[in-house]
Amino acid sequence: MTESVVNSDGQGGDATRRDFIHIAAGAAAAGAGVTIAWPLINQMNPAADTLALSVIDFDLSKVQEGQQVVTKWQGKPVFVRYRTPAEIEAARETPMSALKDPQADADRVKEGREQYLVLVGSCTHLGCVPTFGTGDYGGWFCPCHGSHYDTSGRIRKGPAPTNLVVPNYEYVSDTAVRIG
């Protein structure tokens, strides 16, 4: 309120008690507005039961060599691929210089279990689900905008900026992984 700091003679003056009341009331109203707005905004964040679905167990014995099984984790597809020795070899022999997002195959699998590749099945371009075993590099091919991934899930050609994401997972037994 600009007029509240104006004296009766129309000139600017020191802050009055009325200014204090105005500012205090305005501050209280603003604070109340924020506290009311917060629960209304926060309710759109993931609910407790949604967050509780953030971990899944997967039985690796379902996957045969040369195949992949798609499971669902946090609403998105997760590829679990049982790679053939030839596919592993192809992934290992690819030079770093050929990669758009350089990362060694060994860094994308667990040591001693190189045959199992676990990936989030969302193309890193705009989120489509790449198709298995197609594309120029024998890995995946995204039908939306033509991204080619190799047998390690790394981007080789097309618009996707990064490799397919390897989620956090661990082996809970020889045949089961816990993703998340």
Partner 1 sequence: MSEHQSTYVPRTAFERWMDTRLPIIRFGADYMSLPTPKNLNYWYTFGAILTICLMVQIITGVVLAMHYVPNTEMAFASVERIMRDVNGGWLIRYVHSNGASMFFIAVYIHMLRGLYYGSYKAPREMIWIVGCVIFFLLIATAFLGYVLPWGQMSFHGAVVITNLIGSIPVIGGSILTWLQGGPAIDNATLNRFFSLHYLLPFVIFGCVVLHVWALHTAGQNNPVGILIPKDRVAKDTVPFHPYYTVKDGFALILFLIMFAAFVFFMPNALGHADNSIPANPLVTPAHIVPEWYLLPFYAMFGSIAVLFILPWLDTSRVRSMRYRPTMRVFFYIFVVNAFVLGLCGAMLPDAPVIGEFKTFMLIDGDLNSYLWLGRLATLYYFAFFLVILPMVGLRETPLPIPQSISEPVLGGPAAMPAGAPAQPETRG
User: Catalytic residue positions?
Assistant: 145
Scan for tokens 């205090």, then name that residue: 24
- 34 lines the binding site for partner 1 (CB under 8 A): no
Candidates 9, 10, 47, 75: give the one binding partner 1 (CB under 8 A): 47
Candidates 3, 11, 17, 48: give the one binding partner 1 (CB under 8 A): 48
Residue 56: CB minimum distance to partner 1, A = 18
- 50 lines the binding site for partner 1 (CB under 8 A): yes
Distances (CA, A) of 159 to 119, 145, 149: 19, 7, 11
User: Could you tell me the two tokens for 170?
Assistant: 């661990």
* C-beta of residue 148 within 8 angstroms of C-beta of residue 34: no
Q: Over the range 122-137, which residues count as b (16 or more CB within 10 Å of their CB) and which as e?
A: bbbbeeebbebeebeb
Candidates 43, 61, 97, 168: give the one binding partner 1 (CB under 8 A): 43
Segment lying near partner 1 (by CB under 8 A), choices 3-11, 47-55, 86-94, 129-137: 47-55
Distance in angstroms (rounded) separating the CA atoms of residues 136 and 149: 8
| Residues engaged in binding partner 1 (CB under 8 A) | 39-40, 42-45, 47-50
